[in-house]
Every structure is written in structure tokens, then in C-alpha cells.
Amino acid sequence: MDTKGLIESALKVLDRSYSKYSKFKVAAAVEMDDGNVYTGVNIENASYGLTICAERSAIANAIVSSDSRSIKRIAIVNVDVYPMPCGACRQFISEFTKDCEIIVAKDVNDYKIYNIKDLLPESFH
């Protein structure tokens, strides 16, 4: 799948975001090394600490649905801003890859690409 296709996969589920408190909808599509793509959205909770970010939701979906445990790349979308992964998500992503692309996008034509090594140098393993 190309970059725009991965972004489109995330955009297709964006409306499933449960973001009734922040109104900040985020969706993610993770491509595993086996080529399969899994999606997720942020799921908020009145107790903010129980909120699940879209990145972790997509990765959990991949782990439950597949034998693959290695992330090739992940696209994270929000239509208003480039949705950079939080620190917890960066660590979570690094648990399943040593070198993957992180694509942050507003739409299929407006995105930036980073590497997990750049966003979380010297990660804890």
C-alpha cells in the first residue's frame, strides 16, 4: 500500500472516534511487515487517564487480529492539525519496531513523514 492509501485507510474510520470531551478526532492506520493494515481511533473517557489514543488502538487491533508483531509504518490523521503521537504512543510504537515511518496527515495530499528513531531517540527497550 502506498502512503496515500494508508492515509485514506485512517481517514475512513475517523468518524468512529469517540472524542466527546476534547472534540479532537484522531484515527490511525498501521501497516505491519506482513502488509496487512489495521485501523484504530481515539477513545476518550471522562477519566482522561483511561483514554486510548488512535495509534495504540490500531496497534492493539493488529496484535489481536494477526500474528505479525512488527510495524512497517503508521499513518495518524486529524483534519485540522498534524496529529503528532504523544510520548506514550511513541514508546508503544517503538515496542513493535526499531525503524518505522510515522506519517501525520490532515488529508491524502497534506502530510509529513518522520521516523520513530527521530521522534523517540534512545528509546527504552
Active site residues: 55
C-alpha distance from residue 45 to each of 42, 58, 62 (Å): 10, 18, 22
Q: Where in the chain does DSSP place strands (E)? A: 27-32, 37-41, 71-77, 101-107, 110-115
Exposure class string for 78-91: b at 16+ Cβ within 10 A, else e: beeeebebeeebbe
